[in-house]
Structure 1
Amino acid sequence: MGPYVYSEKRQKENITFHDNHTVSYREYRRYFFEESMSVGNESDVVTIPNMLVLGASVMMEDMPLPVRLMLSTALTLFKEEAFLTKPVGELMWGYDSKLVDFLNQYLPGMLPTSGKFGLFAEFNNSNTGLFTVFTGKDDIRKVHKVDFWNGLKKVDYWRTEQCNMINGTAGQMWPPFMTTESTLPFYSPDACRSMELVFQRKGKMKGIPLFRFVAPKTLFANGTDYPPNEGFCPCRQSGLLNVSSCRHNSPVFMSHPHFYNADPALLNTVIGLSPSEEEHGLFIDIHPETGVPLNVSIKLQLNLYIKRVLGIIQTDRIAEVVMPMIWFEERGYIDGSVLTTFYNNLVVMPALLEYMQYIFIGLGLLFILVAVHLFLGSRRPSTATVCRKSPMLASCAT
């Protein structure tokens, strides 16, 4: 079902410049439903896996049996089932749950919220952390590169130092003068890790040249298929990023939509998946001379690992599977007056200046030739004709 479209408003606050050519800020984001662009509205009722029940069950799998039985009893008491039917708006931004109140009271810290529970409840009216990035004033190659995030040079979510590194920019621009060998590294607080896109092809958007960068197949590969990703494990099939370590240990996995670029075995567990690059691949189109994004489409899928857990009767008929819950696209592009200004200043003017230099070179050569011709003409010796006449013969000599 869907898509359900929201406009995202971002605003940087607490902007502070520092002596070492860096600037700190917090970027707040708010979402507003755009019914005219959506297929349906927020009152549409859908059924999805109940993340509270199935997620909490997996999290409690290693707890003593009496604790699991207590959880099962509480789920029965609060009439919570393995699947949940709710309006889209409530699933997205939160709904009241007596189970949430119960878990927060008896198992504090298990859930990320003490209020309403929703898939994106913690994103709305929130910020992405305190970023400190380089301005590029002293070195343009460092522009927008992250110096600190929340005062940290690296995170501690993962198992290796390489995976915990905060690399690249904050994801809104990159250093200029790119080549086809360039990459797009950036740190994503939502994914709790740094990521890197690679060059795919050249192109144009409304006459503006661009480089398209896409996610490599190794981005979400497991440690077996791509050893540097071993630090993001424990892993399952390739194509799944285990984000449980930064999501309160909930069994949540991130992937491309429809398990694009993932292990084909994942497609056999869920009916209706049909991955393709056009529909489910992510990309960022960059103007190579400035490092400014022209067109962005970030597509990701949220998946829940579910299974039968002994002692929790709500899971008795649940097979072990990574279940897609929702996939979303964050899209943006330059348009309107900004696009016109960009085109005029970075396409028309450079082209005009390039043509003008050839015109001026041609005129310069023409003037030089004319000057040489006039100069050589002025240096030719003068001539005179003398005639002598006689009665018999007349002759002329030059």
Structure 2
Amino acid sequence: MTIGKAKVAVGFIVVGALTAVFGAVLLFVGPAVMNDQVIKQAMAIDKSKVAVGFIVAGVLTVFFGTVLTFVGPIIIDDQVVKNTVIDPNNEISYTMWKDVPVPFYMSVYFFNVLNPKEILDGEKPMVEQKGPYVYRKRIQKDNITFHANGTVSYREYRTYFFEPSMSSGNESDVVTIPNMLVLPQDSAKTHRLQEFNSSNTGLFTINTGKDDIRKVHKVDSWNGLTELNYWRTPQCNMINGTAGQMWPPFMTRESTLPFYSPDACRSMELVYQRDGQMKGIPLYRYVAPKTLFANGTDYAPNEGFCPCRQSGLLNVSSCRHNSPVFISHPHFFNADPVLLDYVLGLNPTEDEHGLFIDIHPLTGVPLNVSIRLQLNLYMKRVSGITETGKISEVVMPMIWFEESGYIDGPILTNFHTNLVILPSVMEYMQYGFITLGLVTIVIAALVHHKVKRSRTNLTMTSTGVDNPAASFTENGAHYQERKEKCTINNSEK
């Protein structure tokens, strides 16, 4: 993101500051130099006028600093708006939006079943987590089409590349998980994840923000739909928020992060948790509220996502070909504790299994992201299918994903320079101008007062008011004159 005008403005501020500092130096040094020149060259320079000139300069400096306190933020906000709008003319920001330069990684964890035969006999499942199997994720938008109503359509393609050095296993590893079709067990190879390569998230149409920056990145439609048809209530079928990559700028702590997730078949909303910093850049951390996957009994607005089971599970069978699949946080974090009693080997913690997004509030740009979701299979004994044995009714964790990425390198440096350093410089400079102007006014006023007082003393001295000897001599002369006049008058008589 570039902020050219802000840099130019700061340049002028620095030049102005140097000029003001030079003027302040002259305020101290100038009178001494001038006095020396007056003595040497016998030139009469009115110091009082010079002091008045510096007073005027100080007033102008204070005025400029005061104006800058109002104009500075406007300049920054204007540049944020111009660089946030989705516009091909914004080369850097548009390129970042089109081909996300930040490295994203998909970490995959499997729940390897340790006792498959015992499960068929009705015992509790026992699992161990295997992973991570890490894939570098490339995100690229294609079929980009701008529309006259201030929206843009695109398809986003995802490509995954396995990263052996970041993984704790390889793609030939075999794990035992429930088979969604037959149920007893399925020895699955992890390379099946590559089937997602070159997949896309559907046709998104989002607002460019050109007409209203508050709408930038917000979804206008998905696959031509302005609402879904998976769920039971209009509220649950709403497509809210952005596509989940960026949000409108100028966020506050009261702001939320709504976004539509095609993978979850619904809109979701994160809430503010706390302030933070990332390498000097201020951020807001947003997390999932406990009500995100709560059932309709615990949170009435979620009734439309039912039929529900325990809180912490989202039934997505209606958008997954009626497969008995549920989404949750990994290890049933923030879910009903009873789910942990049905499966052995789970240990949920917020640090490892909670999802979060760190947002730069001024721009709405995510700085650090970690989205963690788990796929679960609802299992029970099915009459007539001998493979289900005596299996107990249970929501079985199968696999969980973590999509993570953060801004670093030259992008972070550019971000920090333009959106942290420059605004800070402008803020310090505006108060510096005010302080310098006030100091200049005070010193110049004192100099002016001193010059005026010296001139008054000089006048009084020349008239004898402050010179007793001169006054005595003058009075003596008058007395002698009166005495001579009296002597002449007496001789005439």
Please state which band the TM-score falls in when normalised by the shorter chain. Answer: 0.7 to 0.9
Q: More strand by proportion, 1 or 2?
A: 1
Q: Name the SS for the 1:40 alignment partner.
A: coil
1:163 matched to 2:163? The reply is: no
**Which residue matches 1:37?**
166
> Measured at CA, do residues 392 and 46 of structure 1 come closer, stay the same or move farther in structure 2, by a change above 3 Å?
closer
**Which residue matches 2:340?**
267
> Measured at CA, do residues 347 and 394 of structure 1 come closer, stay the same or move farther in structure 2, by a change above 3 Å?
farther
* Distance in structure 1 (CA, Å) of the matches to 2:143 and 2:475: 114
- Larger relative contact order (Cα-Cα within 8 Å, sequence gap ≥ 6): 2
> Normalising to structure 2: TM-score of the pair?
0.67
* CA-CA distance at 1:373 after TM superposition: 3.3
RMSD between aligned residues? 1.8
1:296 matched to 2:379? The reply is: no
* CA-CA distance at 1:391 after TM superposition: 11
* CA-CA distance at 1:393 after TM superposition: 6.5
1:206 matched to 2:286? The reply is: no
- Percent of residue pairs identical: 72
Q: Structure 2 residue aligned with 1:280, among 353, 357, 376?
A: 353
* Distance in structure 2 (CA, Å) of the matches to 1:84 and 1:15: 41
* Distance in structure 2 (CA, Å) of the matches to 1:49 and 1:294: 37
Q: Name the SS for the 1:4 alignment partner.
A: strand
* CA-CA distance at 1:138 after TM superposition: 1.6
Residues 112-163 of structure 1 show CA distances to partners (whole Å, capped at 9, x for unaligned) of xxxxxxxxx3x32111111111111121111101111111110100000000
Given that 1:6 and 1:31 are in contact with CA atoms closer than 8 Å, whether structure 2 keeps it comes out as yes
**Which residue matches 1:69?**
none
**Which residue matches 1:359?**
432
Alignment of 1:241-260 (within 5 A): 241-260=314-333
> Measured at CA, do residues 394 and 276 of structure 1 come closer, stay the same or move farther in structure 2, by a change above 3 Å?
farther
Given that 1:132 and 1:149 are in contact with CA atoms closer than 8 Å, whether structure 2 keeps it comes out as yes
* Distance in structure 1 (CA, Å) of the matches to 2:322 and 2:168: 34
1:148 matched to 2:221? The reply is: yes
Structure 2 stretches of 5 or more lacking a match? 1-129, 465-469, 479-493
Given that 1:388 and 1:394 are in contact with CA atoms closer than 8 Å, whether structure 2 keeps it comes out as no
Q: Name the SS for the 1:356 alignment partner.
A: helix
**Which residue matches 2:182?**
53
1:10 matched to 2:139? The reply is: yes
> Measured at CA, do residues 335 and 392 of structure 1 come closer, stay the same or move farther in structure 2, by a change above 3 Å?
closer
1:311 matched to 2:370? The reply is: no
Residues 269-311 of structure 1 show CA distances to partners (whole Å, capped at 9, x for unaligned) of 0001111101100000000111100000000000000111001
**Which residue matches 1:88?**
190
Residues 143-196 of structure 1 show CA distances to partners (whole Å, capped at 9, x for unaligned) of 101111111110100000000000001111111111111100000011010000
1:132 matched to 2:205? The reply is: yes
- Give the aligned residue type for 1:47: T
**Which residue matches 1:216?**
289
Q: Structure 2 residue aligned with 1:347, among 411, 416, 420?
A: 420
* CA-CA distance at 1:21 after TM superposition: 1.3
Given that 1:22 and 1:133 are in contact with CA atoms closer than 8 Å, whether structure 2 keeps it comes out as yes
* CA-CA distance at 1:203 after TM superposition: 0.5
- Give the aligned residue type for 1:350: P
* CA-CA distance at 1:318 after TM superposition: 1.7
* CA-CA distance at 1:249 after TM superposition: 0.4
> Measured at CA, do residues 388 and 251 of structure 1 come closer, stay the same or move farther in structure 2, by a change above 3 Å?
closer
- Give the aligned residue type for 1:86: A
- Give the aligned residue type for 2:235: Q
> Measured at CA, do residues 182 and 394 of structure 1 come closer, stay the same or move farther in structure 2, by a change above 3 Å?
farther
- Give the aligned residue type for 2:430: Q
Q: Name the SS for the 2:359 alignment partner.
A: strand
> Measured at CA, do residues 262 and 22 of structure 1 come closer, stay the same or move farther in structure 2, by a change above 3 Å?
same
* Distance in structure 2 (CA, Å) of the matches to 1:201 and 1:394: 92
Asked which structure has the greater CA Rg, the reply is 2
* Distance in structure 2 (CA, Å) of the matches to 1:359 and 1:346: 20
Alignment of 1:185-204 (within 5 A): 185-204=258-277
- Count of aligned pairs: 339
- Give the aligned residue type for 2:135: Y
Q: Name the SS for the 2:428 alignment partner.
A: helix
Residues 220-262 of structure 1 show CA distances to partners (whole Å, capped at 9, x for unaligned) of 0000000000000000000000000000000000000000000
- Give the aligned residue type for 1:302: L
